[in-house]
Amino acid sequence: MKKAIALNINGDSYDVLVNPNNTLLEVLRDKLGLIGTKRGCDLGACGACTVLVNGEAFLSCLMLALDAVGKEIVTIEGLVHDGELDPLQKAFMENGGLQCGFCTPGMIVSAKAILNEDDHPTESVIRKKMAGNLCRCTGYKKIVESVLSASQTAGKER
């Protein structure tokens, strides 16, 4: 039985009709067209579907859309402000923190959660906290360098 819900995504409210078993990932991609969040494994093992929920990294393939009601969801699309990329997105581009690009949205959103918690994380902290995000191209060195570079950005403009 479908249920009408309202979701707060990237600062906008969306009214959507969902089945009780619809994941947040399904709603984002299939119902709302926010395809920056990637469908990887659908098992919570790859991190490609990572979004921020109330500022923390969550795997949207494991969260029911019904459980997202009343929470602030931010996807990769929501990191752009007034047409400007987030400093973290810029750092990924400048430091070659992407290769094929499939894992990049999840990596960036996970890194955003890390920087929300700690302005200047160490390489060790970044590697530990991003361990659930997999890159098939094995670009981890450049990904970590990108996060470290973004952490050097002055202020909390991230």
Residue 84 CA to its chain's centroid (Å): 17
The answer to whether 55 touches 17, Cβ cutoff 8 Å, is: no
Residue range 58-81: mean pLDDT, rounded: 98
Kindly report the pTM of this predicted structure. 0.94
Predicted confidence at residue 156, as pLDDT, reads 46
The answer to whether 60 touches 28, Cβ cutoff 8 Å, is: yes
pLDDT digits 0-9 by tens, 115-156: 999 999 999 999 999 999 999 998 899 999 999 999 997 454
pLDDT digits 0-9 by tens, 26-46: 999 999 999 999 999 999 999
Structure tokens of 148? 């470290």
CA distance 61 to 24: 6
Domains of the chain are 3-78 (3.10.20.30), 87-151 (1.10.150.120)
List of residues 6+ apart from 42 with CB closer than 8 A: 25, 61
CA distance 104 to 17: 29
